[in-house]
Structure 1
């Protein structure tokens, strides 16, 4: 690649090498990219929780359908609408969180690139950061809806059991 740059414009190649050779500049970019990197780690952790809940819900739906085919589903069938709603919320939460992880990765890349090019891309970097926050907020909101749906359904199920005198 450096050969191509040198062939195209010797000054451009030298300028690029000078800007990337500075250890202090690279250290500065690494320092300012730490916050987005920690955010990326946090997104990964919350996605682990979301994915585990999604897997549990999907497995529960599968088990109820198997029980239904065997003719022994009984009252478990009443759980299906809430479980389907939870699955929908959890899937969307994971998708938005994945989009947040992707865009924060773009932010980190833009931070590094911006240190070594002449055109200023601060606006693009800020836009990517704002987009990340939007995706993350949406993912967390959907996760909140999923957990709220689970809690409400559980409360309603317990209330029905008490009314039937099962507890």
Structure 2
């Protein structure tokens, strides 16, 4: 039975440290995205209560905000999906590092492609996050009458 030496395992752990730190960062991003999703869902629920009781300009504002919130849910969902795909690909990279070292496989290209895929998925997820933030800013327009510029 093959038993890897302690130096082999230690060297592989050292190689895997950077991807593991990246996983921690992605976890933080996922936490932020999940928090934003929860706030959007809470706002949708609040507007669902107000929507049937509103009329006129107030109703139109509710409908407009609900449409933007629906779009934000879709964008956040995709951002979460891409970031999770990135995390899974990083996990695959770490696993490949260990498998390659333990059984002496030459799968550097596969590990590199997995890492590139992870970075691409993370980039798309972050761009979607930026887009969602921009959407949220579009939804928050303070009405002129509330600003009381006439005072």
TM-score of the alignment, normalized to the shorter chain, above 0.5:
yes
Q: 1:123 and 1:44 mapped to 2: Cα distance?
A: 26
* Structure 2 unaligned spans of 5+: none
Structure 1: distance between partners of 2:87 and 2:19? 10
- Whole-Å Cα distance in 2 between the matches of residues 119 and 98 of structure 1? 27
Counterpart for residue 6 of structure 1: none
Task: Give 5+ residue unaligned stretches, structure 1.
Answer: 1-12
Superposed CA deviations along residues 108-167 of structure 1, whole A, max 9, x for unmatched, are: 00011110123311111001101100110011010000001111222xx22xx11xx232
Q: Does 1:48 align with 2:31?
A: yes
Query: Which one of 88, 92, 112 corresponds to residue 102 of structure 1?
Result: 88
How far residue 84 of structure 1 moved from its aligned partner, in angstroms, is: 1.1
Structure of higher CA gyration radius: 1
TM-score between the two structures when normalised by the length of structure 1: 0.80
- How many aligned residue pairs are there? 143
Q: 1:84 corresponds to which residue?
A: 70
Spell out the pairing of 1:59-138 with structure 2 (5 A cutoff): 59-69=42-52, 71-72=53-54, 74=58, 75-138=61-124
Q: Which has the higher contact order (CA 8 A, sep 6+)?
A: 2
Work out whether 1:166 is the aligned partner of 2:146.
Answer: yes
SS at match of 2:104: coil
Maintained 8 Å contact 2:99/2:105: no
RMSD after superposition: 1.4
Q: Structure 1, residues 73-92: CA drift from partner, whole Å, max 9, x if none?
A: 73333311111111111110
TM-score by length of 2: 0.88
